Amino acid sequence: MAKAEARMSSALRTVPENGLVLGRYKPLRPLGTGGSGSVWLAHDEKNGQDVALKIIGKEGKAASRAEREAHSAARLRHPHCLLAYGFASDENHVYIPYEYIPGHTLRHALRAGELDDEGVVEAATQVLEALAHAHAHGIVHRDVKPSNVLLADGDSVSVRLFDFGLAQLAGAETLTAAGDVPGTLAYIPPERLQGKGAGPAADVWAVGVLLWEALSGRHPFWQASPVEMGKLIQSGAASLATERPDLSGRLVAAVDRALAVDPARRPTAVALAQALRGSRRETVERPLKPVRLRLDSRIPVQAGAPVLAGLATAWVGASLPFYPPHWPLLLGALAAGLAALRPRVGLAFVLAVPIFPLGNVALGLGMVYAVAAAAWLGLAWFRPRSGLVFALGAVVGPLGAIGLLPLALQRVDGWFRRAVYAFAAVLVTGFAGPTQLDGVATEESPFAVGGWLWESLATKPELPLVGLVLATGAAVLPSARRLGEPAIVALSAGLLAGTLLAAPNGSEVSFVTAAWITCAVLLVQWRRQGGGPTRVHTIGAISRATRAAFLSRGEAGGWSAVAQGQNPHRLGHATRR
């Protein structure tokens, strides 16, 4: 972050006293930073247009790459290629003014779950159409990835391909040293790792990786070790059908062909775009996009699913009297293995383990749970790795960290799933630990069991109320993170006020801590995605929200106490557990 700020400060120092760069561009605010420079929203004083002004330092290879980027972009005139207006330089920097399109990168959109399957396919198709235009002009991009695709704001999917800094012109001498592989490793084709040249098929491979990743919810080759990742790339990707058997055969076949290890077997960008458009009629629509894998993480996101599956199964097996003493550990290990190898089977196994113990206590209880488990399996069928996150309630509840659920669920795809998972996790906290089942022992009627569950929840009215608050927070959290500082503060303040009012007997410290942690983490994530620095008034805003939440809670509690004939000033002592 310090390096990014240093690059922005360096760029600002190039602005002369009249406030104009190159005598015409007035920088307004930073839009983001990259490895060698920064991008600013600037106003062109000559024609009155706003532009995205890319400012790159001349040190190292950055200047030659920037010049190549400008020359490549200037040759392209396509609706899905970001338009470059020119190229200029001074003693210290290179400047490339681009058309300004309000929006954010495809990477950010995928992480936030903004696109469904149809939207992903449409975005990839537009990228391929841009690449086909570039290939027709003898230009190979060589660095196609979600962070180099701009998704324009609006109701429909409209993308722009940008950053042609690694582009190579047909017949031009490469500037890459021997043994140096340009581009982002996760999207580089096998032939490049073998030292061969990058042709149009390399760009098609990158789009294939993008599609596989976006539709499956994980990267096909991602490993913490670059060496291991390179080995996986050279061995090829598994068929997309192994992760998404529900997708149309035409779509799966198109993605699989794009990821052929032999570049000669890959379709052209034009052919793949046509195949994707033809497959859209058969694509199974689902609510929202999958969880995006964070490529800067050291441990793959998927590793948490087997661990949670194993812990949840072992805990259930040990808590409910049915299985022999050593079985819970064995069941937990089996659940972890299944969740790692066959996520859908693993989820079904974990959900099935409690059926027999609960049925042994009461047949009706086992029947009610079996129906609920089947419904839950259906909800998580397309995203089995995230289907066990409701078990987090058994962990965060005893730790007093229930308010962190929205933050923990931010990578789950789709607002509806996040909301349901958060609500279920809150309900689980009410039954974590030793549960008294005497009220339904030997009960055979599922309706009687349903009545007992309702009465049990009635004794803890704060659970569904807190569940609704946290479910709402989980649903809107990715959008708040993308919108920036004001939305993040509003979300954190809303979570704080909602939880304090919904749970008058709850711990103020845990709720306040959770709200502040949520706010801090989201602000850091927002800044990493190109947001501006956190301002002092942000801290003041969340501080005022904390104070207001306490006052509102006191007033609500006081009126409640008056209604019950209590002294409101003694409420804090009377209602604390």
pLDDT in tens, 114-127: 888 889 999 999 99
What is the rounded (10 degree) CA torsion for 31, 32, 36, 37? 30
pLDDT-derived band at 513, boundaries 50, 70, 90: confident
Q: CATH fold of 2-99, please?
A: Phosphorylase Kinase; domain 1 (3.30.200)
Distance CA(181)–CA(190), nearest Å, equals 11
Distance CA(220)–CA(210), nearest Å, equals 9
Condensed to tens digits (0 to 9), the pLDDT of residues 264-302 reads: 999 999 999 999 998 865 544 443 334 344 433 333 445
Distance CA(198)–CA(36), nearest Å, equals 23
pLDDT of residue 131: 96
pLDDT of residue 61: 67
pLDDT of residue 576: 36
Closest CA to 237 of 250, 247, 218, 224: 218
Q: What is the mean pLDDT of residues 100-112?
A: 89
pLDDT of residue 487: 85
pLDDT-derived band at 133, boundaries 50, 70, 90: very high
Q: CB within 8 A of 281, min separation 6: which ones?
A: none
pLDDT of residue 274: 94
Q: What is the mean pLDDT of residues 367-379?
A: 85
Crossing angle of helices 415-429/363-379, nearest 10°?
150
425-460 burial by CB neighbour count: b if 16+ within 10 A, else e?
bbbbbbbbeeeebeebeebeebebbeebbeebeeeb
Crossing angle of helices 462-483/508-528, nearest 10°?
20
Amino acid identity for residue 38 in this structure: S
Q: Has this prediction a pTM greater than 0.75?
A: no
Distance CA(441)–CA(349), nearest Å, equals 25
Structure tokens of 549? Answer: 């939440």
The answer to whether 31 and 162 have CB atoms below 8 angstroms apart is no
List 44, 143, 163, 203, catalytic entry:
143
Distance CA(403)–CA(518), nearest Å, equals 9
pLDDT of residue 178: 33
Mean pLDDT over all residues of the chain? Answer: 76
Residue 75: Cβ within 10 Å count: 17
Distance CA(439)–CA(258), nearest Å, equals 59
Among 253-267, 334-348, 440-454, the range of highest mean pLDDT: 253-267
Amino acid identity for residue 100 in this structure: Y
What residue ranges in 229-308 does DSSP mark as E strands? none
pLDDT of residue 287: 39
Pairing label, strands 139-140, 103-105: unpaired
Pairing label, strands 103-105, 149-152: antiparallel
Say if 2-99 and 103-171+181-279 have the same CATH topology: no
Q: What is the mean pLDDT of residues 458-483?
A: 82
Q: What is the mean pLDDT of residues 296-315?
A: 63
By CB atoms closer than 10 A (0-12, 13-18, 19+), residue 22 is middle
Q: Does residue 143 have an active-site annotation?
A: yes
pLDDT of residue 36: 63
Amino acid identity for residue 308 in this structure: L
Distance CA(303)–CA(285), nearest Å, equals 27
Distance CA(379)–CA(386), nearest Å, equals 10
Residue 556: Cβ within 10 Å count: 15
List the domain boundaries for the chain: 2-99, 103-171+181-279
Structure tokens of 176? Answer: 């890459």
Q: CATH fold of 103-171+181-279, please?
A: Transferase(Phosphotransferase); domain 1 (1.10.510)
Q: Coil, strand, or helix at residue 80?
A: coil
Condensed to tens digits (0 to 9), the pLDDT of residues 218-260 reads: 899 987 788 888 999 999 998 998 888 778 889 999 999 999 9
Q: What is the mean pLDDT of residues 170-188?
A: 52
pLDDT of residue 391: 72
Distance CA(55)–CA(34), nearest Å, equals 10
Distance CA(308)–CA(388), nearest Å, equals 7
* Cα atoms in the 13 Å half-sphere on the side-chain side of 424: 20
pLDDT-derived band at 310, boundaries 50, 70, 90: confident
The answer to whether 95 and 42 have CB atoms below 8 angstroms apart is no
pLDDT of residue 505: 59
Condensed to tens digits (0 to 9), the pLDDT of residues 384-430 reads: 777 777 777 766 666 777 888 888 888 776 678 888 888 888 887 76
pLDDT of residue 321: 75
